[in-house]
A and B are shown apart, each in its own frame.
Chain A
């Protein structure tokens, strides 16, 4: 199944690239630099999903102590860090021409950076504790506490006055976006979700192999 998801992800990515860089119209205000949105927004939405999975799997692990939950939590956290990292980098590159700066201590940017650091810490913690069972338990607690930051990141642009624009999608009002832009965004979102699923299946296999080899 994993291979098929991988091929589907590759196809969706190719379609997303064509739509994002070619089909979607140039933004009337920002020009072509707005096309960064087609990777920036799917990256953070995928990261939200990954960290939500960490939360569910961490609760599952603490309740049942089953390794499957721990594997899911570990794999999702690693992917969440990658997609949050992509969000921060693409946002910084987008920020320079539009805001005139690579970085500013705005509520959205800062809360996203904190989210990133929490889960980097989560991964470091797992590596630091030698006893796997104990490490999994500590990580599960961090995974649950860290999830509190997800709504803070998402709603930061509504709760505080920020340089970052309000949410384009998943906001309180219907997004003022052209259908062609919405299509490009949607296809890229699907592509990122498929990549996430493919990577997740691969990372879970890897984690199982790690356990077998180090047993």
Chain B
């Protein structure tokens, strides 16, 4: 059977993009919300 490395790299590549993308989403959203919370607290003070 041919090796089909292209399929292997496609599967690993998609997994890497999804996991990295989700990680970036979590980090960005956390920073966004933490900033929002800090601004709100500063306003209240």
Contact = CB atoms under 8 A, between A and B. Distances in A.
Task: Name, among B2, B11, B14, B19, the residue most crowded by chain A CB atoms within 10 Å (CB to CB).
Answer: B11
30 contacts: A29-B1, A31-B1, A31-B2, A31-B3, A32-B8, A33-B3, A35-B8, A36-B8, A36-B12, A39-B12, A82-B18, A82-B19, A85-B18, A86-B14, A86-B18, A89-B11, A89-B15, A90-B15, A93-B7, A94-B11, A97-B1, A199-B22, A199-B23, A202-B26, A205-B30, A206-B29, A209-B33, A209-B34, A213-B36, A213-B40
Nearest to B30: A206
A203 B10 CA distance: 27
Interface of A: 17, 21, 26, 29-33, 35-36, 39-40, 43, 82, 85-86, 89-90, 93-94, 96-97, 195, 199, 202-203, 205-206, 209-210, 212-213
B8 A21 contact: yes
Nearest to A201: B26
Contacts, number: 79
Interface of B: 1-5, 7-8, 10-12, 14-15, 18-19, 22-23, 26-27, 29-30, 33-34, 36-37, 40
Contacts of A21: 8, 12
A21 B3 CA distance: 12
Main secondary structure of the interface of B (DSSP, over half): helix
Given A205-B30, A213-B40, A97 B7 contact: yes
A90 B16 CA distance: 12
A35 B5 CA distance: 9
Nearest to A195: B19
Contacts of B26: 199, 202-203, 206
Contacts of B2: 31, 97
A201 to B, nearest CB: 10
Contacts of A36: 7-8, 11-12
